[in-house]
Amino acid sequence: MQSTLPYGWYTDPEILRREQERIFRSAWQYVGHLGQLPEPGTFFAGRAGRTPVVVTRARDDVVRAFVNVCRHRGFVVASGEGRRETLQCPYHAWTYGLDGRLRSAPRSDEEDGFPRGELGLVPAEVGTWGPFVFVTTAADAEPLSDALGSMPAQVAELGLDVDDLVFHSRWEAELEANWKIVCENFLECYHCQVAHPAFAEVIDTSTDAYALATDGRLSSQRGPVRADVGVEGELQRSQFHFLWPNLGVNIFAGHANLSIGPMVPLTPDRTYRFLDYFFGSGVDRAWIDDLMAFDTQVGNEDRALVEGVHRGMASGALDHGVLMGRSEQLISHFQGLTAAALDIG
């Protein structure tokens, strides 16, 4: 049987430092949605991996992204979201336009040759897929369309028009588990019959019915609704996509719906997780409430699973685990990509 990554990789701060350097700094990261930038003069703060970023729509109506760190002493400039003409650092009041240019710095007139034009916010690359906003801090990033691979086409083939989706709400949590454990839990439904009984009553998770596939950095799961369960809505099956290194996308059978969000490492034993929920503009409120309650239950069950796995790995009792070749093939794919990126012999 195939062995997993060494369990020490899930607890070692040096591994996390290398992951930030070799994986997250070059990856496109989902940070928010265009509904947070409804008009010129709006912004929202987020993070690309562990790097704070801010996305703006300036008066010229151009959407931009920047590293959300003041050029003076490194304080995080912006927080939350809203409408502003400028972004002001809370530490020493250095003030930036939504185009990233440094507008003012107190007492800068006392400094000979103060290089105002060179001290704007550091730009980042920004791209969109439908209403979804992605940012990367890589200087030589591939186009977002290349990074997304076949996921948009698979979603469209299902019959879901992402441009018709409307933001509903955001769920946020910090999990006491390494980010890789959270990703790996997303990547298999081998545990669903045991740990998610309500999910397994609706979705056929049997080996022959529940389809797994990889395409480059994309891993996909397709779950048909059980034959004895009726489907209300235009989406006749579920799709769950994972874009390496850390993005999850969920689409449930039924009416137009999609949730999207990353698993962001905070420390070796703590992960920030958020999901933005979107629904079609005409979807009934009662149906939405039922789906949200269903997904909340699954999420609570997953929290207990990933935190339990982390406790076991961190105990030091075992060096590694094993993978079930057919049922956990997407974890194998994830671990292969991760190991190759870290380049540890």
One-letter amino acid for residue 301 of the chain: E
Q: What is the pLDDT along the chain (345 residues), one digit of tens a residue?
A: 899 999 999 999 999 999 999 999 999 999 999 999 999 999 999 999 989 999 999 999 999 999 999 999 999 999 999 999 999 999 999 999 999 999 999 999 999 999 999 999 999 999 999 999 999 999 899 999 999 999 999 999 999 999 999 999 999 999 999 999 999 999 999 999 999 998 999 899 999 999 999 999 999 999 999 878 878 889 989 999 999 999 999 999 999 999 999 999 999 999 999 999 999 999 999 999 999 999 999 999 999 999 999 999 999 999 999 999 999 999 999 999 999 999 885
SS3 percent helix, strand, coil of the chain, rounded to 5, is: 30, 35, 35
Cis amide bond preceding 245, omega within 30: yes
Question: By the 8 A CB rule, do 203 and 219 touch?
Answer: no
Which pLDDT score, from 0 to 100, does residue 345 have? 58
| pLDDT score of 181 | 98
Asked if the 150-342 domain carries CATH number 3.90.380.10, the reply is yes
Q: Judging by beta carbons within 10 Å of its beta carbon (0-12, 13-18, 19+), is residue 81 exposed, middle or buried?
A: middle
Q: What is the CATH number of domain 29-140?
A: 2.102.10.10
Provide φ and ψ at 16, rounded to 5°.
-65, -40
Q: Are the beta carbons of 97 and 123 closer than 8 angstroms?
A: no
What's the chain's length in residues? 345
- The yes-or-no answer to whether 29-140 and 150-342 have a common fold is no
Q: What does 78-97 look like in DSSP terms, one character per residue?
A: --SEEE-SEEE-TTT--EEE
Enumerate the domain spans of the chain: 29-140, 150-342
The pLDDT score that the predictor gives to residue 145 is 97
pTM of the model: 0.96
The sign of the torsion formed by the CA atoms of 43, 46, 47, 52 equals positive
**Half-sphere exposure in the Cβ direction for 114 (13 Å, CA):** 14
Tokens of 57: 């729509």
Q: How far apart are CA 326 and CA 212, in angstroms?
A: 9
CB 105 within 8 Å of CB 118: no
Residues 263, 252: Cα–Cα separation, whole Å: 20
